Amino acid sequence: MKAEIITIGDEILIGQIVDTNSAWIGQQLNDVGIFVHQITSISDNKEHIKKALKEASARANVVLITGGLGPTKDDITKHTLAEYFNTSLVFNAEAFAIVEQLFKSRGREVSEINRQQAEVLANCKVLINQVGTASGMWVEDNGVIYVSMPGVPYEMKHLMTNKVIPKLVALGGSQFILHKTILTQGVGESYLAEMIADFEDELPPNFKLAYLPSPGSVRLRLTASGDEISVTNKMNELVATLSNQIQSYIYGYDDDKLEQVVGNLLNKKGYKIATAESCTGGYIAHMLTSVAGSSSYYMGSTVTYSYASKSDLLGVPADVILKQGAVSEEVVLAMVEGVKKLYKTECAIATSGVAGPGGGTPEKPVGTVWVAISTPKGTFAKKLSLGENRLRIIQVAGLNALNMLRRELI
């Protein structure tokens, strides 16, 4: 069974809102073995909608449509669908009862424009929306299923979960789909591709490898479909092979978070940690404390942005800062030892760098970051060169720092 998603709304195209609906729908369909082959976003325009429906029907067995079912004049989806299917809109008493109930619970009367929310396509199976005023519509035409749903996320999710997914599953035609994601840090996409080129070339025909890069990390996603037992066994074998090839860069699998992996290691060893941050401005502290239960190992942070704060709070000698500069190995090593002493922890992380856009020099250009790591095994520092985008520099520096600590802990 092939599916296609069409999202309707000018607000998506102009960037006023982000289309989270399609991502969620795609995940739900994948979980029940239905492939999404295309996602299309279009404006609130009658001809655009008709054209998108026609093209989607040539590619997919199921076309899922979100948006444009509201009561205002810019919401034209229902009327356009009526023209496309050469049918009319009819009043549905059951849908109207929900509208009345919702308005009554808010102490309001149903206006004529809201009454029109209960109008549905004459040729559809009505998907009653228990949490909103716009019901969904299920139409079967020339062997293709069309499902129109509200664009409001919680209303769409209600209909997908309780009405649409069960009906699609009951039709059959889905297949077993398995994903496995390998999470890496500290290696670029192109270098990773070179390392595992032979592995990728030898993949079975029903297996596909995708590279999903983001600032500071690369996710490798293996996807396969077919018989559940054979696919699962082969997937386990391939993941083991791939993991052996790139083990030094792997920090987790599937939904693992680097900060969670580090937290688990700290807990396992009974270590406490503190952070001293300059260029990262508390970002590492934020990552570590985003994990539930982090209070068992995370003791505190200092954001020592100025020269004075580095000296006053962490004991970094002023003459070292003046001689070496704040962005230096000597300073970041003193910072990590200082924060470790301040919070009486076994482990610590410190960062100092040039996040830009100004402040760079030929010797220390924007993107130069020093990271120091301290554990019971010892203390060391590493210099990173992270480009010129300020927010990316902060994010990638934080990920590198956590992964450096992870590697020391294991």
Q: With cut-offs at 50, 70 and 90, classify the pLDDT of residue 104.
A: confident
Rounded to whole angstroms, how far apart are CA atoms 383 and 402? Answer: 14
Is the pLDDT at 56 greater than 90? The verdict is yes
Per-residue pLDDT, averaged over 148-174, amounts to 94
What single-letter amino acid sits at 256? D
Rounded to whole angstroms, how far apart are CA atoms 236 and 178? Answer: 11
Unique residue bearing structure tokens 């220390």 = 364
Is the pLDDT at 47 greater than 90? The verdict is yes
Three-state DSSP state, 135: coil
Q: With cut-offs at 50, 70 and 90, classify the pLDDT of residue 20.
A: very high
Unique residue bearing structure tokens 């199921």 = 62
Bigger pLDDT: 1 vs 167: 167
| Predicted confidence (pLDDT) per residue in 358-401, tens digit | 999 999 999 999 999 999 999 999 999 999 999 999 999 999 99
pTM for the model stands at 0.81
| Predicted confidence (pLDDT) per residue in 289-309, tens digit | 999 999 999 999 999 999 999
CATH superfamily of 2-171: MoaB/Mog-like domain (3.40.980.10)
Query: Tokens in use for 232?
Result: 């699962």
Per-residue pLDDT, averaged over 166-185, amounts to 93
Query: Tokens in use for 305?
Result: 């942005």
Domain 177-253: CATH architecture, name and number where available: 2-Layer Sandwich (3.30)
Is the pLDDT at 112 greater than 90? The verdict is no
160, 166 Cβ separation under 8 angstroms = no
Instruction: Using alpha carbons, select from 60, 221, 257 the residue that is nearest to residue 144.
Output: 60
Helix (H) or strand (E) holding 207: strand 207-214
Per-residue pLDDT, averaged over 160-184, amounts to 94
Boundaries of CATH 3.40.980.10 in the chain?
2-171
Q: Give the contacts of 223 (CB within 8 A, at least 6 positions apart).
A: 177, 178, 179, 207, 208, 210
Boundaries of CATH 3.90.950.20 in the chain?
258-409
Is the pLDDT at 107 greater than 90? The verdict is no
Q: Give the contacts of 173 (CB within 8 A, at least 6 positions apart).
A: 1, 61
| Average pLDDT across the chain, whole number | 96
Provide the pLDDT for residue 73. Answer: 82
Rounded to whole angstroms, how far apart are CA atoms 83 and 269? Answer: 66
Q: With cut-offs at 50, 70 and 90, classify the pLDDT of residue 102.
A: confident
Fold of 258-409: Maf protein (3.90.950)
- Strand order, beta sheet including 2-8: 35-42, 2-8, 62-66, 144-149, 136-141, 125-127
Instruction: Using alpha carbons, select from 158, 32, 33, 142 the residue that is nearest to residue 102.
Output: 158
Pairing of strands 207-214, 217-225: antiparallel
Q: With cut-offs at 50, 70 and 90, classify the pLDDT of residue 262.
A: very high
Provide the pLDDT for residue 105. Answer: 86
Angle between helices 77-84 and 46-57 (to 10 degrees): 50
Boundaries of CATH 3.30.70.2860 in the chain?
177-253
Q: What are phi and psi of 255, to 5 degrees?
A: -95, 10
Is the pLDDT at 71 greater than 90? The verdict is no
Report percent pLDDT > 90 for the chain: 92
Q: With cut-offs at 50, 70 and 90, classify the pLDDT of residue 258.
A: very high
Long-range contact pairs involving 47-56 (C-beta distance under 8 Å, separation at least 24): 49/6, 49/8, 49/76, 49/77, 49/80, 49/81, 49/84, 50/80, 50/83, 50/84, 52/6, 53/6, 53/81, 53/84, 53/146, 56/4, 56/6
Three-state DSSP state, 272: coil
| Predicted confidence (pLDDT) per residue in 116-147, tens digit | 889 999 999 999 999 998 999 999 999 999 99
Is the pLDDT at 405 greater than 90? The verdict is yes
Provide the pLDDT for residue 311. Answer: 97
